[in-house]
Homo-oligomer: A and B are copies of this chain.
Amino acid sequence: MAVNNDDVKLIGAWASPYVMRPRVALNIKSVDYEFLQEQFGSKSELLLKSNPVHKKIPVLLHNGKPICESSIIVEYIDEVWSSSPSILPSDPHNRALARFWAAYLDEKWFPNMKGVITAASEEEKNAAVDQLKEVAVEMEGAYGETSRGGDFFGGDKIGVVDIAFGSMLGSARAIQVRVGVKLLDEEKTPGLVKWAEKFSADPAVKDVLPETEKLVEFAKLLSAKFKAAAASDPLRR
């Protein structure tokens, strides 16, 4: 079901958690879009022209105008297609709280997840895993406070915190397979275990959440690339 006659394109890559965010947001709003897959290890002319500052995916092209940075794109989608289900809460205090947790995840979850995959030693890897477990416990608390009996952060519909966190579930599962560490578990984060199931099964999510096996293979590629880069970097210890 499409609600727009606009020209909507998304420059991205299937494995990227950041790219998954606008995809889920567009699905929630029932906006049809064309997905432009970037190739691993290179950047298209269109990407370089559309995001000359950061040269990073995702980039949303809305009637030819580029919008960059995943969290900014998600807010843009919510503002432009405003009549469909809301992604941000309407109350300013709840909005601020949702933005707080989304920013917290960007700062604390993703860098440590990358840290697990690219760690140069067991010590580095374990430190990143410990950090992730702490963040998970913090997020369990936030889920308890904001879900108010609903399935999701903020209530009974998928919102901005679910999108920010849920987009990283695929990578979290890949880490579980590859490193043997369960980042969400029944003992310490029972709410999040249930939440992850609900989120992954949602119609707006299930077709864009990458398969774990494919991500495990992809993580091997990434890890090799980082190790090669580290080996040729004289400043790296």
Contact = CB atoms under 8 A, between A and B. Distances in A.
A75 to B, nearest CB: 7
B68 A95 contact: no
Nearest to A68: B100
B53 A80 contact: no
A69 B103 contact: yes
Interface string A75-106: 11001100000000000110110011001100
Contacts of A3: none
Contacts of A34: none
A155 to B, nearest CB: 18
Interface in A217-237: 237
A16 B104 CA distance: 21
Given A67-B93, A93-B65, A75 B53 contact: no
B76 A93 contact: yes
A130 interface: no
Given A53-B138, A138-B53, A75 B104 contact: no
A67 B103 CA distance: 13
Contact of A76 (B73, B76, B92, B103): B92
In this complex, the member of A73, A80, A92, A104 whose beta carbon has the largest number of chain B beta carbons within 10 angstroms is A92
A64 to B, nearest CB: 11
A67 B72 CA distance: 20
Interface string A158-184: 000000000000000000000000000
Contacts of A100: 53, 67-69, 72
A72 B103 contact: yes
Contacts of A92: 76, 79-80
Contacts of A93: 62, 65, 67, 76
A113 to B, nearest CB: 19
Interface in A30-89: 53-54, 62, 65, 67-69, 72-73, 75-76, 79-80
